[in-house]
C-alpha cells in the first residue's frame, strides 16, 4: 500500500473512532436520563434536606402544648377567664395554651372546639402586639398551612359533636370566614350557603351571605 493510501485509511479509521465515541457518549446520556435511579438519588437527597430544614424550623410552635393537660372540671371557669383575658390583649400563645387545655377537658363541646380553631387561626397569622408592631408567630409557610388545616378540622369536629343545627351552621360559617381571609371567595360562599341551608330561618346569616355575594361580584 502506498504512503498516501495508508494515510487516508488511518484518517478514515480516526474519523470512525471519533464518531463511535460520540455515539457512545450520546447513548450514555440517554441511559442516564431514562434511568430513574440516577435521577432519584439527588431528588431524594433534596427531599431529605428539605424535610430536615422544615423539622428544624418547626421550633416556632409552642412545645409545652404538645400534649395539653386537661383543665380540672372544677377549674374550667378560672381557665376560661384566663383565656378571655389573653384573647382580649391578643396574647395568642397564652390564649392557645389555655384553650388547648380547655378543649382537652371538653373534647365533645362544640364551643370549646370552635374557640380552639379560632385561636389556632389567630396564632398562625400576623398579630398586632401591645406596642403596635406586627410579626409572624409562625414563620414557616408550610407550618402555617398545617395549623390552618388543624383549625378547619376542629371546625368540622365542632359541627359533628353537636346535634344542634346552630353549632353545625357556625362550623360552616367559620370555615367560610377562613376561606375568605385566605383569599378564596368562591370557597367562602360555598361554606356560607351550606351554613344557611342548615339554618334557613337565620335572617342575619342570610343578610351576611347576600352581602358577601354582592361584594364578591356574584349574582344571587
Domain spans in the chain, listed from the N-terminal domain onward = 3-60, 70-215
Select 70-215's CATH number: 3.30.1300.30, 1.25.40.10, 3.90.76.10, 3.10.20.340.
Answer: 1.25.40.10
Q: Which of 89, 118, 115, 87 is nearest to 103 (CA)?
A: 115
Average pLDDT on 124-140 reads 65
pLDDT top residue among 66 and 99: 99
119 burial type by CB count under 10 A (0-12 exposed, 13-18 middle, 19+ buried):
buried
Give the 3-state DSSP-derived string for the chain, with helices as H, strands as E and coil as C. CCHHHHHHHHHHHHHHHHHHHHHHHHHHHHHHHHCHHHHHHHHHHHHHHHHHHHHHHHHHCCHHHCCCCCCCHHHHHHHHHHHHHHHHCCCHHHHHHHHHHHHHHCCCCHHHHHHHHHHHHHHHCEEECCCCCEEECCCCHHHHHHHHHHHHHHHHHHHHCCCCHHHHHHHHHHHHHHHHHCCCHHHHHHHHHHHHHHCCCCHHHHHHHHHHHHHCCCCC
CA distances from 87 to 38, 61, 84, 106, 159 (A): 53, 18, 5, 19, 23
Q: Give the angle subtended at the CA of 216 by the CAs of 210 and 220, to the nearest 5°.
A: 40
pTM of the predicted model, to two decimals?
A: 0.62
Over residues 12-71, the pLDDT tens digits come to 444 445 545 545 544 444 443 333 333 333 333 333 333 333 333 343 444 445 688 999
pLDDT top residue among 198 and 37: 198
Q: How confident is the model at residue 176 (pLDDT cuts 50, 70, 90)?
A: very high
Residue whose C-alpha cell is 365533645: 108
Measured in whole angstroms, how far is the alpha carbon of residue 81 from the centre of its chain?
30
pLDDT at 161 over 70: yes
Amino acid at each position: 500500500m502506498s504512503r498516501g493510501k495508508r494515510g487516508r485509511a488511518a484518517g478514515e479509521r480516526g474519523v470512525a473512532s471519533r464518531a463511535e465515541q460520540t455515539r457512545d457518549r450520546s447513548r450514555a446520556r440517554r441511559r442516564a436520563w431514562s434511568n430513574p435511579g440516577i435521577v432519584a438519588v439527588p431528588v431524594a437527597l433534596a427531599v431529605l434536606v428539605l424535610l430536615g430544614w422544615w423539622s428544624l424550623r418547626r421550633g416556632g410552635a409552642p412545645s409545652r402544648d404538645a400534649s395539653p393537660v386537661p383543665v380540672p372540671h372544677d377549674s374550667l371557669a378560672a381557665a376560661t377567664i384566663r383565656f378571655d383575658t389573653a384573647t382580649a390583649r391578643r396574647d395568642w400563645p397564652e390564649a392557645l395554651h389555655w384553650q388547648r387545655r380547655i378543649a382537652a377537658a371538653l373534647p365533645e363541646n362544640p364551643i370549646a372546639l370552635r374557640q380552639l380553631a379560632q385561636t389556632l387561626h389567630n396564632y398562625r397569622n400576623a398579630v398586632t402586639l401591645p406596642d403596635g408592631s406586627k410579626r409572624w408567630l409562625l414563620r414557616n409557610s408550610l407550618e402555617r398551612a398545617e395549623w390552618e388545616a388543624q383549625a378547619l378540622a376542629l371546625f368540622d369536629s365542632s359541627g359533628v359533636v353537636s346535634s344542634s343545627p346552630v353549632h353545625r351552621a357556625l362550623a360552616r360559617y367559620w370555615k367560610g370566614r377562613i376561606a375568605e381571609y385566605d383569599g378564596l371567595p368562591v370557597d367562602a360562599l360555598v361554606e356560607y350557603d351550606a351554613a344557611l341551608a342548615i339554618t334557613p330561618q337565620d335572617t342575619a346569616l342570610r343578610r351576611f351571605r347576600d352581602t358577601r355575594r354582592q361584594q364578591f361580584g356574584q349574582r344571587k
